């Protein structure tokens, strides 16, 4: 779980970094350029297979761990003052993980499916829009337009994304340091540092992700 978690943590840095280019407010030019690079580069496309395998593995490992924990104590404690022996987010990793999974299903439908298989979620096909992006003289899928379409029109989608990202934030705050602990890195001096970096990473990444649908819905990004 630790290794798959660290791989997913690295993916989120790249994903968030490229998406944050929408904040240049240049009509999506820089963002589309890099999104297209990521979508067409052979090495990145090969890593994408790894990403989905790791994501699936992470979910299966989480479910197995949850099952093992339940089996270890089939008869529940008569008195269980959970808050005194574990933190809220360590007890809620399963619930938060499930919420993130639901968010991901919607998210992949919005962006990944149309970018790989054509069309734009929610509206007509790319050919019908006048806004197909250009890259090296070639018409390519306009993911910036896709973002505008997904977030500009429906408040409920923005709310689901923000809730998904809040769940992700809690999940990461606990998961970051837990991944290092699982790999045996637990040290009086370094563990507080790892925890601090984990909290900073989780908050920055999730604030940036949450700002994307909000900024587009509010019209701050055109
Ligand atoms: C909230 C703001 C977010 C926006 C605007 C956004 C946008 C996008 C876009 C445009 C793509 C398509 C990339 C492509 O096909 O080349 C994508 C793919 C993807 N996103 Fe996000 N994303 C967001 C948050 C997240 C979060 C929080 C996660 C994970 C928990 C995530 C996981 C993924 C995955 C797994 C893919 C498919 C990977 C791939 O294309 O190789 N995204 N996202």
pLDDT by residue (tens digit) across 93-138? Answer: 777 888 888 999 999 999 888 777 765 554 444 444 444 556 556 6
pLDDT in tens, 25-36: 998 889 988 888
pTM of the model: 0.84
**Ligand 1 close to Cβ of residue 21 (< 6 A):** no
Write down the pLDDT at residue 63.
84
Helices 2-19, 42-72: axis angle to 10 degrees equals 130
Rounded to the nearest angstrom, the distance between the alpha carbon of 15 and the centre of ligand 1 is 7
Write down the pLDDT at residue 167.
92
Which residues contact residue 56 at a Cβ distance below 8 angstroms, ignoring those fewer than 6 apart? none
**Ligand 1 close to Cβ of residue 35 (< 6 A):** yes
Write down the pLDDT at residue 107.
95
Write down the pLDDT at residue 122.
47
Rounded to the nearest angstrom, the distance between the alpha carbon of 201 and the centre of ligand 1 is 17
Write down the pLDDT at residue 84.
55
Residue nearest to atom 37 of ligand 1 (CA): 112
For 81-140, the DSSP string reads: -HHHHS-HHHHTHHHHHHHHHHHHHHHIIIIIHHHHH-SBTTB--GGGSTT-EEETTEEE
pLDDT 10s digit of each residue in the chain, 222 long?
Answer: 888 888 999 999 999 999 999 999 998 889 988 888 887 888 888 988 999 999 999 889 888 887 887 676 566 555 555 555 555 656 677 778 888 889 999 999 998 887 777 655 544 444 444 445 565 566 667 888 889 989 998 899 999 999 999 999 998 998 888 888 888 887 888 889 999 999 999 999 999 999 999 999 999 998
Which tokens in the block code for residue 59?
């979910």
Which residues contact residue 3 at a Cβ distance below 8 angstroms, ignoring those fewer than 6 apart? 179, 183
**Ligand 1 close to Cβ of residue 33 (< 6 A):** no
CA 35 to ligand 1: nearest atom: 16
**Ligand 1 close to Cβ of residue 166 (< 6 A):** no
Rounded to the nearest angstrom, the distance between the alpha carbon of 210 and the centre of ligand 1 is 12
Rounded to the nearest angstrom, the distance between the alpha carbon of 71 and the centre of ligand 1 is 35
Residue nearest to atom 31 of ligand 1 (CA): 104
What's the Cα-to-Cα distance from 70 to each of 64, 92, 131, 159, rounded to whole Å? 10, 14, 52, 33
CB–CB of 20/200 below 8 Å? no
CB–CB of 106/163 below 8 Å? no
CB–CB of 194/176 below 8 Å? yes
Write down the pLDDT at residue 38.
85
- Give phi and psi for 123, each to the nearest 5: -130, -165
Query: What's the length of the chain?
Result: 222
Ligand 1 pocket, mutate which of 10, 15, 101 (most atoms under 8 A from CB): 15
Residue nearest to atom 11 of ligand 1 (CA): 111
């Amino acid at each position: 779980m630790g290794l798959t978690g660290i791989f997913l943590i690295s993916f989120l840095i790249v994903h968030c970094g490229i998406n944050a280019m929408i904040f240049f407010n240049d009509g999506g030019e820089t963002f589309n350029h890099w999104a297209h690079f990521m979508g067409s580069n052979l090495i990145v496309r090969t890593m994408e297979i790894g990403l989905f395998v790791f994501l699936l593995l992470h979910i299966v490992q989480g479910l197995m761990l949850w099952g093992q924990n339940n089996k270890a104590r089939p008869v529940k404690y008569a008195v269980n003052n959970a808050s005194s022996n574990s933190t809220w987010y360590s007890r809620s990793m399963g619930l938060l993980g499930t919420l993130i999974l639901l968010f991901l299903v919607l998210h992949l439908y919005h962006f990944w499916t149309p970018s790989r298989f054509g069309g734009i979620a929610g509206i007509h096909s790319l050919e019908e829009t006048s806004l197909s992006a250009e890259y090296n003289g070639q018409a390519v899928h306009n993911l910036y337009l896709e973002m505008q379409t997904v977030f500009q029109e429906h408040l409920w989608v923005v709310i689901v994304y923000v809730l998904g990202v809040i769940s992700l934030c809690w999940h990461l705050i606990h998961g970051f340091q837990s991944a290092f602990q699982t790999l045996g890195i637990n040290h009086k001096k370094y563990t507080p540092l790892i925890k601090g970096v984990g909290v900073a990473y989780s908050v920055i990444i999730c604030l940036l992700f949450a700002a994307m649908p909000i900024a587009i819905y509010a019209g701050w990004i055109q």
